[in-house]
Amino acid sequence: MSATNPKVGFISLGCPKALVDSERILTQLRTEGYEVVPTYQDADLVVVNTCGFIDAAKAESLDAIGEAIKENGKVIVTGCMGGKEEDIRKVHPSVLSVSGPQQYEQVVNAVHEYLPPKQDHNPFIDLVPPQGIKLTPRHYSYLKISEGCNHRCTFCIIPSLRGDLVSRPVGDVLDEAERLVKAGVKELLVVSQDTSAYGVDLKYRTGFWQGRPVKTRMTELCEALGSMGVWVRLHYVYPYPSVDSVIPLMAEGKILPYLDIPFQHASPRVLKAMKRPAAAEKTLERIQAWRSICPDITLRSTFIVGFPGETEAEFQELLDFLDEAQLDRVGAFAYSPVEGAVANDIAPLIPEEVQQERLARFMEKQAEISTRKLAAKIGREVDVLIDEVVEEGAVGRTKADAPDIDGQIFLDGATHLQPGQFVKAVVEDADEHDLWGSLR
C-alpha cells in the first residue's frame, strides 16, 4: 500500500458484538483505501468503539477516548457509549464526531469528513481479504446473526441503545460463514443479544442458501453451519423449550456441545424482578434433559449477585442452584446500577460490602465445582484447537472452552504446532480454570 494512504487507528472496547461492529467498519474503510495502523503516532485519526454496558466499562471508554485525544488529537467515537453523546462531550468536548452502535454509515461518513479518502484509490485492487478485516486471530471468528433485543431486562439498557431485534437474513449469515471458513477460520462463534430468538422478527421466514430453502431459525441455522466442517459454538442462548432441538445436533457432533446461557439468577422472584426471558422455565429439569441427550455438554453461564432487593434467602437459593446445576463455567458480577436501568429504582440497592461478600461466597462455591469438573477430565482424550505457540509449548482450547472467557489447555514442549491446527491430547493435570496435557 502506498505511503500516502490515509491512516486510521482503531480502538475496539467491549463485548464480541462490538468487535463484530468494529470489523465491519474496518472492512469498509480498508475497501476505500484507508490503511489501519497500530499506533497513535502513525495514525492521521483515531476511531474509538466504546462500551457503555456498566459503569466500569464507561469509565474505560472515557479513559480510552482521553488517551487517544492526548496522543493523537483527532478522535471519532462510536459504539454503545455513543448513544449517550452528552456524557462523552461533557468530559471530552474536542471529539470530532459521536455515533451510536451499528451506525456504520455515520462512522464512515465522519472519517470521510475529517480524513478524506485518497482520490485515485482503485476499489478493484483487492485491499481486503475475502473474509473482511478480522480483529480476532485468523482461525476463529465471531458471527453476528442479529442486532438488538426484544426483551426488557430491568438491569440492561442495551435495547434502548441498540433497539429491537433485527435478524440478519439467513442466506447472508451462511454466506459470511462460508467465506470465513474458506479463508481459514476453524471455529465460528455465533453471537447476538439473544441467539435463541433468531428469526422471531421475520416470523422464521424461509430464506435461500446455495439454492436450498433454509428457515431463519436457530435450529436450521445450526444445521447449516454444522455442515461446514468447523467448530460452531453458540453464545447468548436462553433456556426456551425451542433450545431442546439443537441438543441432538450437539450429540451428533454437528455443532459443539457447548451452550453459553446467561441465567443471571435462580430465585423466581429475582428473575421476575429482572424480567428475564424464559424466567418461568424449569431450568434444572431442562439441564438434566439436555445432559441425558448429550452427556458431554458444557454449560457456561453468567450471574448477577446483589441485585436490588435480593435477600439473603434468595442469594442462598442461587448457591443451592449452583450445587444442583453443576455448571461447567460461570462468570459473576455484583449488580452495577447502570444509568437509565429500571432496576435501580425497583428496590433499595444492596450495600457494596454485602454485594462483595456474596460475590466471594458465590465464586468460592463455583471454584469448588469447576475444580472438581476439570479434575474429572484427567486421563481423558480431548480435541484441541491451537490458539498460539509460545516458547514453552502450544496453548489451545478444548471444545469446552470459548476464547477469552473460558479456560485453556497447555501442551508443554509442543512448539512444532501452528495456530489453527486441530490435535488430540490427553489431559494430565487441571486446576480450577485450565488444563495441562500432552499430545497423543
Rounded CA-CA distance 30/9 in Å is: 12
Binding ligand SF4 (rule: CB under 6 A), the pick from 54, 133, 149, 222 is 149
CB of 261 to ligand SF4, least distance (A): 12
The reply on whether position 332 binds ligand SF4 by CB under 6 A is no
Among 289, 221, 287, which residue's Cα sits nearest to residue 255? 221
Please tell me whether 51 is known to bind a ligand.
yes
Please tell me whether 294 is known to bind a ligand.
no
Please tell me whether 222 is known to bind a ligand.
no
CB of 197 to ligand SF4, least distance (A): 8
Binding ligand SF4 (rule: CB under 6 A), the pick from 22, 50, 193, 196 is 193
Q: Coil, strand or helix: which one is 147?
A: strand
257/262 with CB nearer ligand SF4: 262
The reply on whether position 151 binds ligand SF4 by CB under 6 A is yes
Sheet strand arrangement including 97-98: 35-37, 7-12, 45-50, 75-79, 97-98
How many CA within 13 A on the CB side of residue 98?
20
Question: In Å, what is the CA distance from 2 to each residue of 127, 130, 250?
Answer: 12, 21, 48
> Can you read off the three cell numbers belonging to residue 295?
452427556
DSSP state for residue 126 in the 8-state scheme: -
The reply on whether position 66 binds ligand SF4 by CB under 6 A is no
Binding mask 347-376 for ligand SF4 (x = CB under 6 A): ------------------------------
CB of 274 to ligand SF4, least distance (A): 8
165/374 with CB nearer ligand SF4: 165
Please tell me whether 153 is known to bind a ligand.
yes
Task: Give the count of beta carbons closer than 10 Å to the beta carbon of residue 48.
Answer: 29
Question: In Å, what is the CA distance from 385 to each residue of 155, 222, 421?
Answer: 36, 20, 6
The reply on whether position 159 binds ligand SF4 by CB under 6 A is yes
CB of 132 to ligand SF4, least distance (A): 25
> Do the beta carbons of residue 383 and residue 427 sit within 8 Å?
no
> Do the beta carbons of residue 307 and residue 354 sit within 8 Å?
no
Instruction: Name residues contacting ligand SF4, limited to 170-189 (CB under 6 A).
Output: none
CB of 15 to ligand SF4, least distance (A): 10
Question: Sign of dihedral through CA atoms 159, 264, 187, 23?
Answer: positive
Among 396, 391, 434, 385, which residue's Cα sits nearest to residue 415? 391
Binding ligand SF4 (rule: CB under 6 A), the pick from 23, 32, 176, 194 is 194
| Beta pairing partners, 140 | 187
End-to-end CA distance of the chain: 44
Binding mask 93-132 for ligand SF4 (x = CB under 6 A): ----------------------------------------
Rounded CA-CA distance 319/379 in Å is: 30
27/192 with CB nearer ligand SF4: 192
CB of 148 to ligand SF4, least distance (A): 8
The reply on whether position 195 binds ligand SF4 by CB under 6 A is no
Angle at 103 between CA 165 and CA 333, to 5 degrees: 60
Tell me which stretch binds ligand SF4 (CB under 6 A): 148-156, 342-350, 405-413, 423-431. 148-156
Among 34, 382, 16, 14, which residue's Cα sits nearest to residue 233? 16
Binding ligand SF4 (rule: CB under 6 A), the pick from 11, 69, 133, 156 is 156
- Contact partners, residue 215, CB within 8 Å, separation at least 6: 170, 199, 204, 205, 206, 207
How many chain residues touch ligand SF4 (CB under 6 A)? 10
Tell me which stretch binds ligand SF4 (CB under 6 A): 81-89, 99-107, 146-154, 206-214. 146-154
Tell me which stretch binds ligand SF4 (CB under 6 A): 72-80, 156-164, 213-221, 378-386. 156-164
Instruction: Name residues contacting ligand SF4, limited to 272-291 (CB under 6 A).
Output: 277
Binding ligand SF4 (rule: CB under 6 A), the pick from 158, 322, 417, 427 is 158
* Residues recorded for the chain: 440
- Annotated binding residues, written as ranges, equal 15, 51, 80, 149, 153, 156
* Chain residues in the site for ligand SF4 (CB under 6 A): 149, 151-153, 156, 158-159, 193-194, 277
Which amino acids are annotated as binding site for [4Fe-4S] cluster, given as ranges?
Answer: 15, 51, 80, 149, 153, 156
